């Protein structure tokens, strides 16, 4: 039955030329393999994040209200916190994260398993936290939205891991080494 639902079907879509040109740029830049793949991903994200729930108070994505603000405003907030405070705030946020519920309820997975952890990182990446990769016992976050100590605390609490910050040459990357699974 699941195979029946996942079979591909060819459809025809009419789009503005400017949108098609932008999709073609993304394919040229290797963001996506093809027009079809980019369009399919966009529809999947639209459905997964229920972007159709918009109203005059903002854009709602599942249980999140999306607010557009300068990244510098978030930086100012965290600048007033010590690294220890950032870590503890991350731990608190991680224990209350709706990501764990989404993985359990919608994907029937446990966020403390390797498969659940990979899904959590994928979901956080989709929510704009940064480009998240799990590789050889390291969680690497490119262009992170939050500071390293916050991310360490958040991911430890969410994923049930003990993590250690790894020095990187550029601040545009955060690397966290998995020390132990709790």
- Residue showing tokens 């990357």: 173
Rounded distance, CA 35 to CA 181, Å?
A: 40
pLDDT digits (tens, 9 = 90+) for 20-47: 999 999 999 888 899 999 998 888 777 7
In terms of DSSP H, where are the helices of 56-113?
Answer: 71-79, 83-95, 98-107
**Pairing verdict, β 138-142 and 131-135:** antiparallel
Give me the sheet containing 58-61, strands edge to edge: 54-55, 58-61, 64-66
Q: Residue 44 burial by CB count (10 A; 0-12/13-18/19+): exposed, middle or buried?
A: exposed
**Distances in Å between the alpha carbon of 133 and those of 8, 95, 141, 162?**
28, 21, 7, 17
pLDDT in tens, 43-84: 877 776 665 555 555 566 666 666 667 778 888 889 999 999
Distance of CA 70 to the CA centre of its chain: 19
The structural domains of the chain, with segments of one domain joined by +, span: 15-66, 71-181
Number of H helices, E strands in the chain: 8, 7
Q: Which residues pair with 162 in a beta bridge?
A: 180
Q: How do residues 108-132 score in pLDDT, each as one tens digit?
A: 999 999 999 999 999 999 888 999 9
Q: Which of 13-17, 19-23, 47-51, 168-172 has the lowest mean pLDDT?
A: 47-51
């Amino acid at each position: 039955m699941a195979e029946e639902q996942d079979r591909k079907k060819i459809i025809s879509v009419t789009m503005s030329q400017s949108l098609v040109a932008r999709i073609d740029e993304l394919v040229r830049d290797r963001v996506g393999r093809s027009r079809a793949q980019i369009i399919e991903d966009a529809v999947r994200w639209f459905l997964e994040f229920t972007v159709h729930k918009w109203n005059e108070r903002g854009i709602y994505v599942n249980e999140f209200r999306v607010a557009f603000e300068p990244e510098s405003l978030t930086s100012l907030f965290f600048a007033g916190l010590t690294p220890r405070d950032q870590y503890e705030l991350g731990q608190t946020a991680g224990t209350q994260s709706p990501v764990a519920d989404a993985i359990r309820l919608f994907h029937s997975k446990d966020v403390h398993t390797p498969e659940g952890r990979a899904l959590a990182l994928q979901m956080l990446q989709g929510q704009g936290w940064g480009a998240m990769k799990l590789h050889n016992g390291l969680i690497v976050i490119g262009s992170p939205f939050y500071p390293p100590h916050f991310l360490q605390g958040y991911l430890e609490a969410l994923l049930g891991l003990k993590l250690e910050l790894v020095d990187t040459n550029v601040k545009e990357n955060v690397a966290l080494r998995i020390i132990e699974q709790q």
